[in-house]
A and B are shown apart, each in its own frame.
Chain A
Amino acid sequence: MINLSRLLKIAKQRILRNPYNSIAAIFVLFLAFSISGAFVLVTASSSALLHYFESKPEVTAFLKDNATGAQVKKIQQKLDGTGVVSKTRYVSKEEALQIYKERNKNEPLLTQFVTADILPASIEVSTYKLTDMTKVEEILKNEPTVEEVVYEKDIVNTLTNWSNTIRFAGGGIVAFLLFTSFLITLIVIGLNISIHQDEIEIMKLVGATSGYIRTPFIFEGIFYGAFSGFLATILLFIIFLLASPTLNKTFSGIAILPPTPLTFTFLLLGELLVGAAIGVVGSLVATKKYLST
């Protein structure tokens, strides 16, 4: 029966006795996993951002200054009658001023000379579906008391395009980097096999099974992959922690950033698993290729 702790010891000795090989392997895999991990996070964030806008379809109709309460009520009733509207809300000039002041509370210059008179009242309309916003827009545009209609159609379109681009380009880059990682593992393990050729020959002569000879190399591959994945997650965590104040400011109110511990736990598990899997496959291919000769 194979004693795994002995084989782990052999793998550990080989890693420590060839420090330059080991450091080179870890460094290259760490870079690949860091970039791959960053793409995964960016893709996840853009998807979350898109989902946020998609799940909150909202059309805002800015009203002319002469719009009366009765006219506003009539518009709201008309919208409710369509059956596609989940909620309507009237925002008076005074409320608009409050909102404006709240958003710019850190910029006193911007709020100093603004009064309720210069801000338009508006109706905020939420729909159940993103696709219904065009219908609502048409209704509102035809209302004589409505000055302008805005909604996140463009934002959603832009985000969708960005999200798809990131997903495809990111997917391609991640696949390329993972393949490179596999090749690096294969080369480093292959190099270690050639360094230990004499030892392997002796192992075979004294009756070591193929599994006994291969297993330490596979452990070595797993270590390179998993350890690099671990380091990459730590780096990404630090970068996102440092960047989170800026990101929070940019995406205020949207719950995608800063990354939660849960996100990073999944990322860590993913990096460890993918790293270990690449290590296993790379070292298996290397042992198959170099040990059989």
Chain B
Amino acid sequence: MIVFKEVSKLYASVEALADFSIEIDNGEFIFLVGPSGAGKSTLLKLIIREEIPSRGTVFVDGEEVSKIPASQVPHLRRKVGTVFQDFKLLTQRTVAENVAFPLEILGLPDDEIEKTTLEILKLVSLEDKADSFPSQLSGGEAQRTAIARAMVLRPEIILADEPTGNLDSGSAWEVMQLLAKLNSLGTTVVMATHNIDISSSLPNRKLELQSGRLVKDSKQKSKAASKKEK
């Protein structure tokens, strides 16, 4: 479970996130929507402690993120897979090597790394691209590689920051299907997007942000609606 309690984040005098409180349950798939600069990326960065809140607290699995010692931050990041708009792949490594990278960091034996990597590549339908380099991939393939890398450690949470931002509509839907598949396997997915087509066409919970403030939570809305009906 991810919990934000009255979180604010200031960059100099600019408030990227203001008094923000939400709870995200395990196994949820939520969209963070809003225009650029609304605070979506800041929110994701706070979850993996790339940033620390100026005020308030963030909890991941009951642990207060800002109180995790620096030496334990890598362990938090192994629990939370991340996917970015610009893929962030290692250009000198092949697809398989990129996917295997988090496993190498764990110091797993080569045969285990090879086996797990192949399984994940099959899951994202990239087994035939295992030896290709990122520069030889289409945008959709590169993003699927990034998703494969994010999920190779079987994280409980996947954060996706505009994962379809650089993709054509066909590739974007492929990525969405993949994230939905991961969610169906029990992974919590938090996806930031300003692609209205994608967020509005799916029934998932949506958190709408504007200027760092939560302006709409579809879950609260549906709760209120069902209360009214009663």
Q: Of B3-11, B99-107, B162-170, B219-227, which stretch is located at the interface?
A: B99-107
A189-B90 Cα distance, complex, nearest whole Å: 20
Do A208 and B88 contact each other (CB < 8 Å), given the known contacts A2-B107, A3-B104, A3-B107? no
- Chain A contact residues: helix, strand, loop or mixed: helix
Q: A residues 162-212 with Cβ under 8 Å of B?
A: 198-199, 201-210, 212
Do A6 and B153 touch (CB < 8 A)?
no
A26-B88 Cα distance, complex, nearest whole Å: 32
Collect the chain B residues with CB atoms within 8 Å of residue A249's CB. Answer: none
B75 at interface by CB-CB < 8 Å:
yes
Do B102 and A207 touch (CB < 8 A)?
yes
Q: How many A-B Cβ pairs are below 8 Å?
A: 48
Do A208 and B107 touch (CB < 8 A)?
no
A212-B103 Cα distance, complex, nearest whole Å: 13
A257 vs chain B, min Cβ distance (A): 50
Q: B residues 64-89 with Cβ under 8 Å of A?
A: 70-71, 74-78, 82, 88-89
Do B71 and A206 touch (CB < 8 A)?
no
Do A199 and B90 contact each other (CB < 8 Å), given the known contacts A207-B102, A208-B105, A209-B71? yes
A1 at interface by CB-CB < 8 Å:
yes
B48 at interface by CB-CB < 8 Å:
yes
A56-B100 Cα distance, complex, nearest whole Å: 71
Do B90 and A205 touch (CB < 8 A)?
no
Do A17 and B104 contact each other (CB < 8 Å), given the known contacts A205-B48, A205-B77, A209-B74? no
A210-228 interface bits toward B, Cβ cutoff 8 Å, 1 = contact, 0 = none: 1010000000000000000
Do B71 and A204 touch (CB < 8 A)?
no
* Among A3, A6, A206, contact of B102 (Cβ-Cβ < 8 Å): A206
Do A207 and B104 contact each other (CB < 8 Å), given the known contacts A201-B88, A202-B88? no
* Among A6, A199, A202, A205, contact of B104 (Cβ-Cβ < 8 Å): A6
B87 vs chain A, min Cβ distance (A): 10
A2-B105 Cα distance, complex, nearest whole Å: 7
Do A205 and B71 touch (CB < 8 A)?
no
* Least CB separation from A14: chain B residue: B92
Do A207 and B77 touch (CB < 8 A)?
yes
Do A207 and B71 contact each other (CB < 8 Å), given the known contacts A1-B107, A3-B107? no
Do B75 and A205 touch (CB < 8 A)?
no
Q: B residues 120-167 with Cβ under 8 Å of A?
A: 149, 153
Do A206 and B92 contact each other (CB < 8 Å), given the known contacts A2-B107, A3-B104, A3-B107? no
B70 vs chain A, min Cβ distance (A): 8
B residues apposed to A, CB below 8 Å:
48, 50, 70-71, 74-78, 82, 88-90, 92, 101-102, 104-105, 107, 149, 153
Q: Name the 4 nearest CB pairs between A and B, nearest first.
A: A207-B78, A207-B77, A1-B107, A207-B74
A residues apposed to B, CB below 8 Å:
1-3, 6, 13, 17, 198-199, 201-210, 212
16 of the cross-chain contacts (CB-CB < 8 Å) are A2-B107, A6-B104, A199-B90, A202-B89, A202-B90, A202-B101, A203-B101, A203-B105, A205-B77, A206-B77, A206-B82, A206-B102, A207-B76, A207-B153, A208-B74, A210-B74
19 other contacts beyond A207-B76, A207-B105, A208-B105, with CB at 8 A cut-off? A1-B107, A3-B104, A6-B104, A198-B88, A199-B90, A202-B88, A202-B89, A203-B101, A204-B77, A205-B77, A205-B82, A205-B88, A206-B77, A206-B101, A206-B105, A207-B75, A207-B78, A207-B102, A208-B74
